[in-house]
Amino acid sequence: MTEKLVQRGIGRYFGALNPRTQVALCQLPLTLIVLALGIATPFAWPDLLHSPLYVVGLLLHGILFAACFLIPWERLHSSAYLVIPVLDLLAIGLSRNGAGTLVPGLVILAIFPIIWLSASGMLARTSMVLSIVGPLLIMLPTVAGKFPHFTASEVSSLLLFPLMMLAVSLAIRFASMNMRTQQRQLQEKDKELRDLLAASRERERLLKTILDATDVGIVAVDSDGGILLTNNRQRDFERIAGPRDGRSMAEGQQLIFARDRSTPVPATKRPVRRAIDGESFADYLVWIGTGHNQRAVSTAARPLTDDGGQFSGAVIVYTDVTGLVEALAANEELVSNVSHEFKSPLNSILGNVDLVLEDVQGTSPLSARRLEVVQRNSERLLALVSDLMASASSALKVHPKRTDLASLVETSIGSAQPQAEHSRISLVADIPSPLWAYADPLRIGQALDNLVSNAIKYSPGGGVVNISAQGTGDWVRLKVQDSGMGMSPEDSARVFRRFFRTESAREAAISGAGLGLSITKAIVEGHGGDISCTSSPGKGSTFTLTLPARGPAVY
Ligand code: ADP
């Protein structure tokens, strides 16, 4: 029953009341009017105190109001309380007929029980019949008492008033039906929302389980660096990085170090800070923690965007690569030691071959040719050993100064000329002279030699190698372009990795160890510049390197 009585708005509070209070409240308006009538009767219509019907009618109202409180509605059928409005009609009928022509308007009180019956939404047909029959029966005895001297207005009221009450009943019924439909829709929506909420909680639990089961640290942050989501592995990393104040890795005095394991990474270069500055990166290596707990972590970040495509945060992934980095370091140390050990005997072989060559040059041409082969191969071996040593030393040392790139290119072209002529290649340079850059002439010369000799080496069918350069404000851009065998876009992305060689270079049996470009890249990056490669198979390749035009300002 409680539910049936519930309406929207104040209905929420009404629904919280106990059934007896609810029934009493429905009855209250009519009771108040009848009470006022009862109080007014001795003064306004004292004769009515002698009308038994009128007095019984008033008393019945009082009894009905008391019954609202006394009857245990909660234990009865949900429509049982409707007996009150039905008996109200009876009480109104008694008072109305008892009052006769003294208070003719009393019949209007029938509107209260009719509203109540119609709004209840129950016993639809009964309440409709009662809404027309009730007022009719209330009015009929008084009108019938005048038989056969009815006035036209009495007859029309007898017919019209019940019809009006029927119309009121129908209007209330439709309005409450509409309200109930809306309420049902609201309840359905409410259920839908609850189901959605439950499903999203379920998904969240699933996501958390998956995240905690992975071996990489994951953290999602909003655009201010506040943590939106993280996993257990990430919490481990944060514990190692300290301090233990629950702040994200972007803040605080955290133990985050650069590749050398001891230089603290500046706040603006920390992975989370870079990510919330909108950067997207991969393979950014940092060391976290200190001592034997220190871990090498490869970090990657991707931005998050909201529905409008605006930056709203980032996801940062931390992968522990300590084992890998340590294995690589051990490998580099081994290569560096072995190369070093090779270098002295090779230098000694070359020196002695030189001496013997001088001795046999005039006397034994055959021995001289054989010694020249030994000399060439020893030189190749020495170059390879130097490359290995250079690539094994993780931080290549550069000593930049104000350098004219045009003259470096000229020297490089000069030394590559014999190789170019041999391969039917013309070397073309288009460089403004002088072209100043802040560069280590030895190292950049080495990088240029590498690029030019590659351009010739990987153009087996001859062609043109074009070297151009130009200054662009703070930077100088240098291009080495060939029309040789080229490579696929996938290969050009991997070409700077150590020991990488393209399939076509191997198939064409072009000699090489796959070290030159990794050294070139280390040299360029050592200057704070960068190098890139664009290429297409069969059409040729272009290597572009960017170097700073001037050194840091001195104040
Ligand atoms: P190497 O030339 O000794 O093999 P590099 O590191 O200089 O080593 O080059 C790596 C690989 O990149 C080469 O083996 C070759 O497959 C490819 N490569 C380099 N330069 C060019 C180029 N100009 N054209 C086509 N392929 C190239």
**Hey, whose CA ends up nearest to atom 19 of ligand 1?**
454
Phi, psi of 285 (to 5 degrees): -90, 130
How many beta carbons lie within 10 A of that of residue 365, not counting itself? 10
pLDDT at residue 32 in the model: 95
Residues with Cβ within 8 Å of residue 517, at least 6 apart in sequence: 450, 454, 495, 496, 500
Task: Report the pLDDT value the prediction gives residue 83, as an integer from 0 to 100.
Answer: 92
12, β-bridge pairs:
none
Question: What are the distances in angstroms from CA 246 to CA 155, 265, 388?
Answer: 87, 19, 45
- What residues are paired with 479 via a beta bridge? 468, 544
Class of domain 217-320: alpha beta
Give 501 Cα–ligand 1 centroid separation in angstroms. 6
Q: At which residue do the structure tokens 């240098």 appear?
A: 478
Is the CB–ligand 1 distance for residue 346 below 6 Å?
no
Q: In this predicted structure, what is the pLDDT of residue 1? A: 45
- Cβ of 494 closer than 6 Å to ligand 1, yes or no, is no
b or e along 525-537 (b: 16 or more beta carbons within 10 Å of the residue's beta carbon)? ebbebebebebee
CA-540 nearest atom, ligand 1: 24
pLDDT score, position 342: 87
Residue 444, judged by CB atoms within 10 A of its CB (0-12, 13-18, 19+), counts as: buried
Q: Which CATH class is domain 401-548?
A: alpha beta
* Ligand 1 atom nearest residue 482's Cα: 23
Contacts of 215 (CB under 8 A, 6+ apart): 233, 320
Do 322 and 288 form a contact (C-beta atoms < 8 A)?
Answer: no
CB of 413 within 6 A of ligand 1: the answer is no
Burial 410-420 (b: 16+ CB within 10 A, else e): eebbeebeeeb
Contact, 301 vs 281, CB < 8 A? yes
Spell out the alpha helix ranges (H) of 45-123. Answer: 52-70, 83-99, 111-120
- Please report the pLDDT score of residue 9 as a whole number: 53
CA of 380 to the centre of ligand 1 (A): 17
CB-ligand 1 contact for 158 (6 Å cutoff)? no
From CA 420, how far away is CA 408, in angstroms rounded?
A: 17
CA of 468 to the centre of ligand 1 (A): 20
Q: Which residues of the chain have pLDDT under 70?
A: 1-12, 243-253, 392-395, 553-555
pTM of this structure: 0.49
User: Ligand 1 mean position to 96 CA, how many Å?
Assistant: 113
Alpha carbons 367 and 495: distance in angstroms, whole number: 41
pLDDT averaged over the chain?
Answer: 88
Asked, as a colleague might, if the bond just before 264 is cis with ω within 30 of 0, I would say no
User: Nearest to residue 515, comparing CAs of 413, 377, 392?
Assistant: 392
281-288 vs 436-439, strand pairing mode: unpaired
Which atom, in ligand 1's list, is nearest to the CA of 513? 3
